[in-house]
Every structure is written in C-alpha cells, then in structure tokens.
Structure 1
Amino acid sequence: MRVVFAGTPAPAVPALRALLDSPRHDVAAVVTRPDAPAGRGRKLVRSPVGALADEQGIEVLTPARASDPDFLARLAELEPDCCPVVAYGALLRENALAVPRHGWINLHFSLLPAWRGAAPVQAAIRHGDEITGATTFRIVPELDAGPVFGVVTEEIGGADTAGTLLERLSVSGSALLVATLDGIEDGTLHAEEQSSEHVSYAPKVTVEDAKVDFTAPAQAVDRMIRSVSPDPGAWAWLGQDRLKIGPVTVSDDTGLSPGELAVQRRRVLVGTATTAVQLGEVQARGKKLMAATDWARGAHIEQGTRLQ
C-alpha cells in the first residue's frame, strides 16, 4: 500500500518506523508541522517525525495548513492509497480527507469514544482510569468520531506518568496501525461506528492547567502531577516564584494543612485535603532539577511555608 504518513512529535516516530520496516507499505512522503524555534538560540528545528524522514531520504511536506492548495496538489500527485496519522497536530478538512481512496487512518491514544481530543493520556491518568489503550479509526470532520478499525489496551500503573504511558502506547499502537493498514489492504478489516454513549473529551493541557491544587485529596494531587509529567510539568507558587514539581508519593502522614511544607531529615512533605504527599524532585527558578531534600536544605525552608 502506498501511504503518506502524517505526524509531528516523538510519540509518532515508532509508528513511522514500523511503516518503514513493513514490507507491505511504501511511505511515499511525510506530512509534519512546520519547523519551529527551539532552544536558547531559538533556531528552527525539524519535528522528530520530519527528522526521521530526512534521515531516510523521504520527501517532507510542511504545510502551514492542511488546506493549503499547494499541499493538496502535491498530495494528489503522490496518489496515496491511505494516509496514516499519529499526533499530526493540525485540522484536516474534507478537501484533504477526500484525496486517499482509503481515507486518513488515525492512531489515537485512548479507547474511543473515551477521551477524544488532544490530551487523552493525560486525561486518563488524571481521572484515575485503570485501563486505557490506543484506537485506529477513519478520520471524519467531527473530532475523533470516525468509525473504528481496532484497539489495543494498556494498564495504567500507579507510578505511570504521561511520559511513560505514552511511550508504551506509541509502541503497541504502532503495531496496531500497521495491522490496520494490512487489513484494509487485504479487504479483511472493516470499520465499525463508535458508540454515542460514554463520550468524553480531553482538551490540550496548558501550563496553567498544570498548577497543583493542594486543597484536593492526596490521591488526586498524585494523579494530577503524574498526568502532566514531563510536559508541561506540574508547578506551584513558592512565594513569588514558581516551583516545578515532579511525581510525588502519597503518605499516611496527617496534620499538615493544604500546601504546608514539612522538611524532615530524609523527606519533604506537603499537606493536602487528606494525607500529605512526599515530594520527589523539584526545580526552583534558576536551578537544576534536584531531590526535594537537597532543595529544601539549600532553600532554608522555614516552618509554616506553603506551596500555593
């Protein structure tokens, strides 16, 4: 099958690698978001998917919008049978969706119809789901609502962050995507409409969304921090400065009010609405990421200091 792959961030790379390794599929080109400034020098940097395509000598298309006439014309010239998509990051209009004869097939990191949207892995962790997975479906104009070809499931561990869970899903999902394209090519796999029940949405997580609310119960604080680790990263106010906060451990300790810090010899605790949580790693402004105990000793945290 001749395909044009669309994807942008690192979690999309395993799927592209799997398609490149598949003897049944020919990757004619890659569509990715335009090069973006990064680092202190703010130099333009190719996306992870685009960088792999460059390495493999594959044509890279970087339209500002998927509706750009020049892009649509080139896509039509490539004559793809199908366009697999993993975290591309741009809306696909009907004029683009109509080009490949088998449509655009999306690998989405949730068990649809749960957690449609930009941040399904983060939402699953934050809401305490025990099971999640990945789904392949045909893209339609409505957000993540197209008919489903297949799913894989994945347990969410008690220490999983969005980063670790997404890493596993990107690997298992890449195998699902290849198997889906195999079935479409063979004519043995047919999509089934999604249920209209139990639909939930997972909008993009912003930096402001990653602020920790220590008035929540300890379990909710733990899940929230893991759901935004490593990106965009949890944080709280320490005075006038932001303190970045890595994953925590729920303790049995009581007696601390929400946000109140307690510095002990071997640990640093923060109060919540229920029991305290133990800080793991933190990063103060202008400092490197470090163990909370090392930070607290250097910062000379006084009794009664609070994170807000």
Structure 2
Amino acid sequence: MRIVFAGSPAAAVPSLRALVASGHEVTAVLTREDSPFGRKRLLTPTPVAEVAVGLGLPVIKANRLAPVTEELTSLDAELGVIVAYGGLVREPLLSAPRHGWINLHFSLLPRWRGAAPVQRAIMAGDDVTGASVFQLVEELDAGPVYGRFTQSIGRNETAGHLLESLADAGAGLLVRVVDAIADGSARAEEQVGEVTLAPKLGVEDGRIDWNLMADAVHDRIRGATPEPGAFTMVDGHRLKILDAVIARDRPTLAPGVFRFDGAVFVGTATDPMELVTVQPAGKKPMRVADWWRGLPSAPEGAAGRVAG
C-alpha cells in the first residue's frame, strides 16, 4: 500500500524503518519542525526526520496540520500511519486515505489514553503495559483496536528503557496490522474497560514528594526518567535524581532527610531511598557520593541535608 507516515521522536524510528523494510511504499514522512536543542539551542531536526532523509524519503515538517493538509491529501495515500507525531489529525485529513489512519500507541487501550502513557503507567505502579494499534478517530485514542501485545514492567525499569523496548516490539505489531489491512483480513474491536488518561508531563510532575511511601517515590523517579526528570531541592538548588533504589534493610529516616553512611539515603514515609546517580543543576551526571562530598559542610555519618 501507499502509506504516509507521521512521527517525531526516537520511539517512532523503529516503526518507520520496519514499514520501509516491509515492502509497502512510504510516500512521505510527516514530522515536527526543527526545534532548539542543547546548550547552544541549535535548530535540530527530529529523530524521524533524520532517519527519513537517510532513507531517501520525502519529508514534510509541520507543527500544525492545517497548512499541509492539501499537500498530504495530494499524495493519494491508501493509509496513514502515526506513531508519536505530536499533533492531532482532524478532518478532512483524517478520512483522506482510503483506509484512514492507524496509530501505534504505547499502552493497553483504553488505559492511558494521551501523550505520556509509558510514564503514567510507571508512576501509577502498573505491573503490566503494552502497545495497541488502533483506528484513528476524532476522539483522543478512542478508536477500535486492530492488535495489541502485553509486556511486564520491570521493578527498576525507567520510562526511557520501557519506551525503547515497546517501540521495538511495537514496530513488528504495526507492520502485521498494515499487512492485514492490505490483504483485507484486518478486524478491529471496540475498546473495552476503564478509560484512564495520560496527559503530557510537565517539569513539576518530576518533583519528588518524600512524604509518600517508598514504592510511590521509586515509581515517580522511574516514570520521570529521562523526561522531564525526577528532582528534589537541596539547599535551594535543584538536584535531579537519575537512579535510586529502595533500601528496605536500612533504618527509617524522616521524610526528606538525607543521611550519608557509606551511601546517601533519603527518608520517605516507609523505607528510605538509596540514591545512586544524580545530576546537580548545570553539571554532568555523577555518583551520589561524589556529589555529597562536594557539598559544603556535609558531615559524614550525619543527616546533613533536608530536601525542600
């Protein structure tokens, strides 16, 4: 089939590569416009744009679809495929391809409809997630599902690692659904179950509340890693927590209280958290002991800091 592909982040790249390798014709790739990146804020193409150019595919860059609707419609695609594009497809573009649009979504719909399903699943303490390929409709992530798979969430798995795994496995599912639509064997079933929402995360979603139980704190850290980043305030400065584990065999500490005892521990409502890797504001990631020893008046063996 003639396909137009829409996607932007690295999580969409395996799907684009798989579709190109499948023998279907990708007529064009729609992606977000170049955006500032890094300390120098250089305009940088999306990961999908970079790969599409390397594959010799036409690229259309747009943050809003209205200005490029006519161009996309003129491609005469039989199917639209979207994987984390970052925008909503509305009419008349929605029904322009003969088979409409399908979407690879990284959750077991109808659970976690929205922009951050992987992060929200981890933050909620879910043990299982997966991916779904569904027919795009006007309502957000509400269309009938062609196929899905389930996958366990590791107790120490971050959102970044889980998304990478789901993206690789999801690419295979996506191609199977496209093949089935092409040969007429595809069947979609309406979503059944409780609807939960997964809105995009903001910076404050990464703030750690040390008054919660250790499992909830751990889930927050994992769900916010790598973006937007889990953090706490220490001595008025932001400290990003990149890696931490629950120290179930350690004495309890008051919530938010730091203690250095061969390692750095922070109290929660239950077991303390042992910090492993941190990133102070304006610096590179480092082992937590190096950060602690570099603080002024950080007495070893004492509770020398309290999270703010």
TM over 0.5: yes
**TM-score (norm. length: structure 2):** 0.96
Contact 1:218–1:272 under 8 Å retained in 2 = yes
Structure 1 residue aligned with 2:29: 30
Q: Distance in 2 between matches of 1:287 and 1:60?
A: 36
Structure 1 residue aligned with 2:142: 145
Could you give the per-residue CA deviations for residues 70-96 of structure 1, whole angstroms, max 9, x where no partner exists?
Answer: x12111221101011100001111211
Contact 2:142–2:191 under 8 Å retained in 1 = yes
Could you give the per-residue CA deviations for residues 25-77 of structure 1, whole angstroms, max 9, x where no partner exists?
Answer: 11110000111111222221110001111111111111231122xx1211122
Aligned residue identity for 1:286: G
Aligned residue identity for 1:190: R
Structure 2 residue aligned with 1:80: 77
Note the 1:166-177 alignment, pairs <5 A. Answer: 166-177=163-174
Structure 2 residue aligned with 1:179: 176
Contact 2:108–2:131 under 8 Å retained in 1 = yes
Note the 1:123-162 alignment, pairs <5 A. Answer: 123-162=120-159
RMSD: 1.1
1:214 to 204, 210, 215: 210
5+ unaligned residues in a row in structure 1: which ranges? none
Contact 1:67–1:92 under 8 Å retained in 2 = no
Contact 2:253–2:267 under 8 Å retained in 1 = yes
Paired residue secondary structure (1:281): strand
Contact 2:229–2:240 under 8 Å retained in 1 = yes
**TM-score (norm. length: structure 1):** 0.96
Aligned residue identity for 1:216: L
Q: Does 1:121 align with 2:118?
A: yes
Q: Does 1:4 align with 2:1?
A: no
Paired residue secondary structure (2:191): coil
Q: Give how far 1:143 is off.
A: 0.5
Q: Distance in 2 between matches of 1:162 and 1:117?
A: 15
Q: Does 1:258 align with 2:294?
A: no
Larger mean CA deviation between 246-255 and 170-179 belongs to 246-255
Q: Give how far 1:153 is off.
A: 1.1
Distance 1:244 1:298, change over 3 A: same
Could you give the per-residue CA deviations for residues 199-257 of structure 1, whole angstroms, max 9, x where no partner exists?
Answer: 10011111111000000000110011000111111001112110111121111223310
Structure 2 residue aligned with 1:60: 59
Contact 1:261–1:268 under 8 Å retained in 2 = yes
Larger mean CA deviation between 128-137 and 35-44 belongs to 35-44
Aligned residue identity for 1:260: V
- Alignment length (residue pairs): 303
Aligned residue identity for 2:91: E
Contact 2:73–2:93 under 8 Å retained in 1 = no
Q: Give how far 1:304 is off.
A: 4.0
Q: Does 1:280 align with 2:279?
A: no
Q: Distance in 2 between matches of 1:64 and 1:198?
A: 31
Aligned residue identity for 1:291: R
Could you give the per-residue CA deviations for residues 172-211 of structure 1, whole angstroms, max 9, x where no partner exists?
Answer: 000000000000011111111112x311001111111100
Q: Distance in 2 between matches of 1:75 and 1:287?
A: 44
Paired residue secondary structure (1:78): coil
Structure 2 residue aligned with 1:49: 48
Aligned residue identity for 1:224: R
Q: Distance in 1 between matches of 2:183 and 2:270?
A: 55
Paired residue secondary structure (1:28): strand
Contact 1:131–1:156 under 8 Å retained in 2 = yes
- Identical-pair percentage: 49
5+ unaligned residues in a row in structure 2: which ranges? none
Q: Distance in 1 between matches of 2:214 and 2:267?
A: 8
Q: Distance in 2 between matches of 1:110 and 1:64?
A: 24
